[in-house]
Structures are given as C-alpha cells and as structure tokens.
Amino acid sequence: MYKVVLFDAYGTLLDVDAAASNLAATNRFPELAKLWPDLAALWRSRQLNYTWLRSLSHKYAPFWQLTCDALDYAMETFDLEDQDMRTALLDLYRELDAYQDARPALDAVYKAGLPAAVLSNGNQQMLNHAFAAAGLTDRLDSLLSVEDVGVFKPDPRVYQLGCDRYQVRAEEILFVSSNGWDAAAAGLFGFKTIWANRAGMPVERLPSHPDFIAPSLDFISEHLSSGAASTRS
C-alpha cells in the first residue's frame, strides 16, 4: 500500500521539448523550423549525460548549469551561434509546459488521499520557478531536489530523499518517471515504480525493471483507484 507518490519532473510532468518547439513556432528563428526536434533531442541527451559524468567524477554542479552547458554543446553541433536564440531557449526552459496528463495525474493522487511530490535532478530554484509557472504547485506537497545531496540520479542517496522527507519505507513509495533508467534505479532502491513510456522505448537492460509500464500518466488514476493507495495515518 502506498503512502506517497513521487514524480520525476523533467520529461515526466514537464515537457522538455517545449522550449525548442515553442520557440520554433514563433518563427523568430527560421532555422529552427526543421531543426528543433534534433536540437531538443541532443540538448536533452547531453544534459543527462552530464549528470552521470559529473556524478561519476564527483563534480556536482547545479542542474541549471548543466542545462546551459548542454544547450551550448547542441547549438555548436548544429552551427547555431545566435545568442538571442540561446537566451530565448533558456527563458522558455525555465517555464516549460506541463504535459496534458500531468494535472489529471496529480488530481488522481490528491483524490486518493496521498501526498504527491517531485523528486528531481533540478536544483531548487529551477523547480520552484518551473512548477509555479506550470500551475501545478497546488497539487504538490513538496519539491525534492538532488541539490540536498550533491549528486544526481541514479545515485541511491537521491531516492533516499523521499524516504527521509516522508518517514516511510521505500516499498511504501510509488515512483513515476518517463525515464526507463530512472524507474529501474528507483525500483532497485526499493520503490514501486511506474514507467511512463511516452516514446514507446524498449525496457532498459538493467538489474531492475519497472513494476508497471504505461504510455502516459493516465494510468495513475486507474492504478490508484484499484486499491493500491492507502491514506497515511
């Protein structure tokens, strides 16, 4: 029985492609019209790669710095040198769109009588701003950041933040992520996990597999209404 539901932020509740796609839609930078999907994909992959490499080398830096570094790498790869474009992309990244299924998923957790929280690589300032802009803070009990432990996912110390914040056992936490590797690591830590497999990717070849796999966050309402939830006493 669950006592809390933790959500990953970027790619799970917040659309990481929205900065590039929304800027392309303004037609301010015509070169983005066809390029934005590739730019967004490389930006995201480098951002994640930098979290892993910095964790392995014990060189933590705020997620915002890694986000900027990853964008610089991606823009240079595609020979994009316009600093106004860079500024615009970063401004939009600070206020990413929430996925359409994010609010209903959080509503389902609320109706189940459980606290919903974010457990993210994002630094605290990023998370506070992003979720206020997305209009989701009224459904979130807390925003937990790796900043408190100085290391990124999938380090077990990150997942321990959820147990410490809510004083529950790992198996009493339901963790939801759109990243297969994140769900796998959380499962290995002891969480019950839902992988929101938005991109229809294969299961990661890792020591732990998600308990549940769904194409979106819509699965959460069905799952919690099946009796898996338990209001914390």
User: Residue range 44-73: average pLDDT?
Assistant: 98
CB 224 within 8 A of CB 105: no
Mean pLDDT, the chain, integer: 96
Choose the final residue of a domain: 94, 128, 153: 94
- Sign of the CA dihedral running 44, 48, 53, 54: positive
Q: What was the pLDDT predicted at 194?
A: 98
Summarised one tens digit per residue, pLDDT across range 93-144 is: 999 999 999 999 999 999 999 999 999 999 999 999 999 999 999 999 999 9
Q: What is the DSSP letter of 228?
A: I
Domain count, the chain: 2
Q: How many residues does the chain have?
A: 233
Q: Are residues 137 and 215 in the same domain?
A: yes
Q: Domain range for residue 102?
A: 4-14+97-228
pLDDT over 50 at 168, yes or no: yes
- Burial of residue 34, with CB atoms counted within 10 A of its CB: 0-12 exposed, 13-18 middle, 19 or more buried: exposed
Task: Please give the share of the chain, as a percent, with pLDDT higher than 70.
Answer: 97
CATH code of 174's domain: 3.40.50.1000
CATH number of domain containing 39: 1.10.150.240
Determine contact, residues 152/42, Cβ cutoff 8 Å.
no
- Under 8 Å between Cβ of 170 and 191: yes
232 confidence band (pLDDT: 50, 70, 90): very low
Catalytic residues: 8
CA 171, 176, 178, 182 dihedral sign is negative
Last residue of a domain, one of 73, 94, 115: 94
Which residues are registered as beta bridge partners of 177? 195
Structure-token pair, residue 167: 């004083």
Has residue 233 got a pLDDT over 50? no
Mean pLDDT of 63-81: 98
pLDDT at 213: 98
CA dihedral 177, 147, 124, 42 (to 10 degrees): -50
User: Helix, strand, coil shares of the chain as percentages rounded to 5?
Assistant: 50, 15, 35
> Among 77, 94, 111, which residue terminates a domain?
94
Q: By the 8 A CB rule, do 48 and 216 touch?
A: no
For residues 155 and 173, give the distance between their C-alpha atoms in angstroms, rounded to a whole number: 17
